[in-house]
Amino acid sequence: MSIDKEIDTRGLNCPLPILKAKKALSDMDSGQLLKVVATDPGSMRDFQAFAKQTGNELVKQQAAGAEFIHVLRRR
């Protein structure tokens, strides 16, 4: 999987990881992948809802220790 852009939202709570992801996606081309690293446990469900609402594809989610990784494909 080739990540086109990565943002670090560690230490930020809802809704900041979503807002930063939304801004990053707006600067990307259709089909590109965005990786978001977060520490907010609520980000797991937040990114699921965000993907549904915006039409961007949630390609992958994983919990790695205290971090949560989300990979989105720009619609």
Beta-carbon count within 10 A of 33 CB: 18
Beta-carbon count within 10 A of 34 CB: 22
Give first-to-last CA distance, the chain, whole Å.
17
Per annotation, catalytic residue among 7, 12, 14, 28: 14
Residue 52 annotated among the catalytic residues of the structure: no
Q: Which residues are catalytic?
A: 14
